[in-house]
Amino acid sequence: MRLKNKVALITGASSGIGREAAILFAKEGAKVVVVDINIKGGKETVKMITAKKKVASFCKADVSKEKDCKKMVAFAKKQYGGLHILFNNAGIMHSEDGDSQSTDEAVFDLTMNINVKGVFFGCKFGIPLIKQSGGGSVINTASFVAHLGAATPQIAYTASKGAVLAMSRELAVIHAREGIRVNALSPGPLRTELLMSFLNTEKKKQRRLVHVPMGRFGEATEIAKAALFLASDDSSYMTGTEFLVDGGITAAYVTPE
């Protein structure tokens, strides 16, 4: 098992990438702290894991709040004695996030608070515990839109993911000699509730898909497998980099026929 005797904390684990990663990490031997603001969904993830005789616990936390992030890391220490893998995955894509003229300040601030501050707070409290635990891996969910302007306007989301990518690089440099690796995981367009609720018409879906060389949305399970690679010792010489799992969208400069 690739994560035997490891403790992993995953935010945004009530659904989508977070849920699939939690299930996969547990299967690979990790004790998993499932974190989300959604209590019902988070506990459902835990049940899916424990039903397979694996180990997981739920901690309710709003990652945009410093005290909640401090609490979730303390929970990991109390429950399992340490922390080796921190997957800062929680994020939102607000339905009213559009271009610079149409997006309200409140929508912009909420997006930045969850998507960027959530990563900052996770690292602020999680990295010291990882260091105490002998080192490990931090994975921050960015996005392909950190490189490309989105075909459907989402100014706050795009800005937030660019910030996550830049922050991941700096964190990696700071903590590299402490046995802590920090990498960004950048998914392409996925068939998750988060994106499908944003691309809520067939026209919007096709406008995004036309740019993807593989011609389909990715699946949360595919991103979870990429996260497992970054979490495990298979990626032991990787830090400060970005793992793009995007169906080729960032490699394309013309619309495929």
Which one from 80, 157, 237, 253 is the annotated catalytic residue?
157
CA-wise closest residue to 252 among 216, 206, 214, 226: 214
- Measured on CA atoms in the order 138, 216, 15, 196, is the torsion positive or negative? positive
Counting every residue written for the chain, the total comes to 257
Q: How far is CA 30 from CA 22, 25, 197, 200, 252, in A?
A: 9, 6, 31, 36, 37
Question: Phi, psi at residue 232, to the nearest 5°?
Answer: -90, 170
- 187: tokens are 């998914």
The answer to whether residue 80 is catalytic is no
User: Do 241 and 168 contact (CB within 8 A), yes or no?
Assistant: no
User: Do 12 and 18 contact (CB within 8 A), yes or no?
Assistant: yes
Instruction: Strands of 108-230 (E only): list them.
Output: 136-141, 180-187
**Which residues form the catalytic set?**
157
